[in-house]
Structure 1
């Protein structure tokens, strides 16, 4: 997935930039970067459990914010680490709707050495933009 960690944005938190040719690719890249932040080897997280989520927001950037927050909530509340499998974003009537199929498994500290515990997505430097034909986002995570 296309993303890179940014060392010069936040000293006590984790920041990354994600991108994609479509909004869906951007959201998938951001979700993968989030998983990489939490787990040493994301590929060790097997796709055993299936979760579907639906989110809506009037702003695309806030939809991404809510999506990443939901992944953090599922990690904290259900102890699930999740990969994005399929994401669909539809804009209708001034509102964005996200339908996401996620797959993953429960945290097993033997197989999933955790890097850091992500507490939340912050609004510090948070942005989503369409630049030169590519969707880009900057995200800072509170760890």
Structure 2
């Protein structure tokens, strides 16, 4: 589990720290943490449907923000709970582009008891950095 929840950052929201050996592993860990925030046991979310996501930004922290916010949008608009399958990040012309393949299924309240409803990803304390060769991020979710 390359993430942990942080109890001392936000009292009314949910905060987590995610990490990975690469930027791609970090972003996948962030998506896993987001899914775990919403669903008690993410393993019950079957990988039935495929969804591609592409976002770009000049900053890695805002790229992570956009990626996670897109997952929240897909949960709200298409009622999809998604696992990250493949994440690719490329840097070109001073911008980052993320292409991800996600797999999951529609929300079924019988099989997917929801823990909380994530309304949005916030910019509060958002941080992405490489520290001692490990990519780390702090994210606060509005619930």
Which of the five TM-score ranges fits, normalised by the shorter chain? Answer: over 0.9
For residues 8 and 121 of structure 1, the distance between their equivalents in structure 2, rounded to whole angstroms, comes to: 17
Give the unaligned 5+ runs of structure 1. none
**Which aligned segments of 4 or more residues in structure 1 are displaced greater than 2 angstroms?**
none
Q: TM-score, with normalisation over the residues of structure 2?
A: 0.99
Q: Which residue of 2 aligns with 1:112?
A: 112
For residues 32 and 100 of structure 2, the distance between their equivalents in structure 1, rounded to whole angstroms, comes to: 13
Q: Which residue of 2 aligns with 1:14?
A: 14
RMSD, aligned α-carbons: 0.5
The count of residues paired between Structure 1 and Structure 2 equals 143
Give the unaligned 5+ runs of structure 2. none
Shift of 1:127: 0.5
Q: State the SS of the aligned residue for 2:125.
A: strand
Shift of 1:13: 0.3
For residues 33 and 53 of structure 2, the distance between their equivalents in structure 1, rounded to whole angstroms, comes to: 19
- Mapping for residues 20-99 of structure 1, pairs under 5 Å: 20-99=20-99
Shift of 1:54: 1.0
For residues 53 and 12 of structure 1, the distance between their equivalents in structure 2, rounded to whole angstroms, comes to: 29
